[in-house]
Amino acid sequence: MTTANKKLSSARLTQPTDKFVEEFTASVQFDQRMFRQDIRGSIAHATMLAEVKVLTIEERDQIIAGLQQIEQEIESGDFEWSIAQEDVHMNIEARLIALIGEVGKKLHTGRSRNDQVATDVRLYLRDMIDPIGQQLNRLQEALLNVAEREADTIMPGFTHLQTAQPVTFGHHMMAWYEMLVRDAERLEDCAKRVNSLPLGAAALAGTTFPIDREMTASLLGFDRICLNSLDAVSDRDFAIEFNSFASILMMHLSRFSEELIIWSSAQFDFVDLGDAFCTGSSIMPQKKNPDVPELIRGKTSRVYGNMFNLLTLMKNQPLAYNKDNQEDKEPLFDTIDTLLGSLRVYADMMSVITVKADNMRQAALRGYATATDLADYLVRKGTPFRDAHEVVGLSVAYGIKHKKDLSELTLEELQQFSANIEQDVFEVLTLEGSVAARNHLGGTAPEQVKAAIQKARRQR
């Protein structure tokens, strides 16, 4: 990174920029990652300018050849980035002029850095949405595989982190899957608003040149055009919306992580995450720490911070473009990187998770998880629900006192609380009977879990 280049935009100024100010205001240190998008946008712009006779065919070809050479230089590591040129856009343009001379100075005709950067950011985010969607899809596939494998595995379901009712582990994984379905829908919807072309808005009012924005949009694969030049250069709603999607998705991953951390503890011992996704302790040799879920839980706050960063950045900006908007990229880039990494490692981790079915079953037996089933049984026998609720409460208290699960009580013990209880009660007090009885759309019965998995696979 050098500071030796002469600025392309310094003619108006009578004094050179202070060296510290130059470094302080530069963004090339982080926005250079958009070089491919910047070059792609410039090639499309030059192609359009030639079509409307602002450039000659020869000038267009010189510019495109120069831009392609610059792309090769950057990819090979031979490009010299300059802080003096402030950002990725001016660095590339300065190098183009150095390569092809006066013709390179014509590239910026009919555009401004304001609409140029807005286009580059949209192109970059659009390019990143696809790999994010792919990693999200990988995680969904991993969850479906676990759910299918564990469709009959019984575990305690919790409310308030207290044993509530028995469910299957497969059903629990499908709950996670449904959360990710909504995330995928949000990403797809967000992509529609990302894919709108600002190029052609110029600085804020449009341009006097006879540009063809429809052609530029087609060349760059944009579905629509930003219809107001003021809005086009100053809009960052798409970045905020993406960060909102990312925040919700990371919240889901954080919730998943919390459960995995609890389940992998010695007190629960429901799952093993695999050694590749854990670390040991520097002092306690017996430890196996769930670092990946813990770190993702921590990174969630980072993505939340990026969203509020962008919201705060935009909240008091008058139209149109302001230098404040240079600050939009680092939180957006950080969210993209964090999301890609988190999804990738989660999909890898869930692909090798080990489920300890016996431990789950024993835990479900310890918490009187079939109490609601007993209440439902009594209601079907003609007992009013509130009376049934009281009967079950007394039965549970009796079981606690005598250290017996409801399924371990004798018929005589149960009948002391209600004469409506008969021998067939034991069909509903087993864990298997409990989950099988919830055989309806969205229920935890293994039959329904398998049907949900099949439906999910058909819709993918």
Place of tokens 């990946």: 292
| Inter-residue contact 243 to 306 (CB < 8 Å) | yes
Among 103, 101, 88, CA closest to 41: 88
| Inter-residue contact 235 to 145 (CB < 8 Å) | no
Distance set, CA 125 to CA 70, 192, 322, 390 (Å): 22, 12, 21, 58
**What is the SS3 assignment for 384-442?**
CHHHHHHHHHHHHHHHHHHCCCHHHCCHHHHHCCCCCCCHHHHHHHCHHHHHHHCCCCC
Distance set, CA 297 to CA 152, 250, 274 (Å): 29, 8, 18
Among 329, 170, 171, 339, CA closest to 251: 339
Question: What would you report as the CA-atom Rg of the chain, rounded to the nearest whole angstrom?
Answer: 31
Distance CA 412, CA 410 (A): 5
Q: Is 89 among the residues known to form the active site?
A: no
Distance CA 115, CA 130 (A): 23
| Inter-residue contact 89 to 95 (CB < 8 Å) | no
- Residue 443: phi and psi, rounded to 5, are -80, 170
Among 426, 316, 406, CA closest to 364: 406
Q: Which conformational region is residue 376 in: left (phi greater than 0), alpha (psi within -120 to 50 degrees), or beta?
A: alpha
Distance set, CA 268 to CA 161, 169, 277 (Å): 12, 14, 18
Determine which one of 9, 10, 218, 281 is catalytic. 281
**Angle at the Cα of 268 from the Cα atoms of 262 and 270, rounded to 5 degrees:** 90
- Report the DSSP beta bridge partners of residue 10: none
Distance set, CA 362 to CA 156, 367, 399, 437, 446 (Å): 9, 9, 16, 20, 19
User: Which residues are part of the catalytic machinery?
Assistant: 160, 281
